Homo-oligomer: A and B are copies of this chain.
Amino acid sequence: MRAVVIGAGTETARIDGISAAGADPEAMVHTPGADLEIVAYGAPVLSPVVPVSPSGCPTPALVTRAARELLGFEVLSVDAGLVRPTGAPTVTVGEEAGKDVRKACPVSNGRDVFEAARRFGRALPDDELMTGETIPGGTTTAMAVLSALGERTTVSSSLQKNPLSLKQRVVEEALAASDLSEGGAADEPIEALRCMGDPMLAAAVGFVRGASETGTDVTLAGGTQMAAVGALARHAGVEASLTLATTSFVVRDDSADIDGLAADLDIDLVVTDPGFEELDHPATNAYIAGEAKEGVGMGGALALCKRAGVPMAEVSDRVVTVYERLVGNGQADVNRTEP
């Protein structure tokens, strides 16, 4: 089992109020690179911060790292177009961050990214791969892509309260900018991701397509963004069985309707509840309140722990350990607003 985490940027994240994947827009450009470093090394290395939401919720990268420390699975970081360089070792499949989805063709290199990732997915020798993402603003581009494909546009949010009407407005502007109607890019996944997506989506669907061509078992680790990858894969002709491993926090988010989305796409849903309610700790409390919910492969990492028989209490304890280690270094509080 190898976990593939795909990082990228999109200017869509700069739209005010769209994402909580960083303390502020300035910090947000560092989030994907920092997430990859935390999963790779257990701490940021070249990135200046531990990503936290404006209210102080730490990045789900801590959960994926905790799972990795318990299970020792291998992680492959993929750079699909990061805004800032990361200190994590990466395979690069794209060199440019995405433009604002309200512009025409925000992912102009989308076909190249797709093809590079596809070659790569085909080449990996693993029998089983899990793939997750880190891209602030990604649920909005996911919604835009689902709209262009004519799929159910129900997406989750890293914010406690999903800014759905704002997202809907952005998607409408995006459709108009690319002269597309809802469902106008059905069966044209490359068109959908070039006009309405982000570089992570381009890389992830290429990757899934390539891996499935060689019979590799693929788990999409994440929430509605990874479901959008599944939608793109289905529209790209991937018929292999696909699993979406997500968290109970995404399932509890009615605006996400992850069950409906997965069912539409004939994707098996695996849900893991980390049992954070058992703790009362700043590392986990914001999740219970409905922030963050998913990301950086969190749902998949939890599913791996469950499959390996690691009790969720042990996972939570390790999340706290990782958090304390980072806070102990004075790093986690850098951008944290005390509640």
Question: A-side interface residues toward B, CB under 8 Å?
Answer: 41-43, 45-46, 72, 76-78, 87-91, 119-120, 123-126
Contacts and interface: CB of A to CB of B under 8 A. Distances in A.
**How many identical chains are in the complex?**
2
Nearest to A89: B89
Contacts of A124: 41, 45
B77 A89 contact: yes
A46 B92 CA distance: 13
Which of A43, A91, A126 has the most CB atoms of chain B within a 10 A radius of its CB?
A91
Contacts of A41: 124-126
Contact of A76 (B42, B43, B46, B89): B89
B87 A46 contact: no
A213 to B, nearest CB: 15
Q: Which 3 A-B pairs have the closest CB atoms?
A: A89-B89, A45-B123, A43-B125
B119 A46 contact: yes
Nearest to A325: B125
B91 A89 contact: yes
Nearest to A45: B123
Contacts of A91: 87-90
Nearest to A126: B41
A77 B76 CA distance: 12
Nearest to A120: B87
Contacts of A78: 89
Contact of A42 (B42, B72, B88, B125): B125
A239 to B, nearest CB: 25
Contacts of A43: 125
14 contacts: A42-B125, A45-B120, A45-B123, A45-B124, A45-B125, A46-B119, A46-B123, A76-B89, A77-B89, A87-B120, A87-B123, A88-B91, A89-B89, A90-B90
B87 A90 contact: no
A151 B113 CA distance: 48
A329 to B, nearest CB: 9
A153 to B, nearest CB: 34
A91 B41 CA distance: 13
Contacts of A45: 120, 123-125
A119 B125 CA distance: 33
A123 B123 CA distance: 32
A88 B125 CA distance: 12
A124 B42 CA distance: 10
A45 B126 CA distance: 11
A219 to B, nearest CB: 19
Contacts of A42: 125
A22 to B, nearest CB: 21
Which of A46, A78, A89 has the most CB atoms of chain B within a 10 A radius of its CB?
A89
A224 B88 CA distance: 29
Contacts of A46: 119-120, 123
A265 to B, nearest CB: 29
A90 B85 CA distance: 12
A68 to B, nearest CB: 10
A87 B120 CA distance: 8
A218 to B, nearest CB: 17
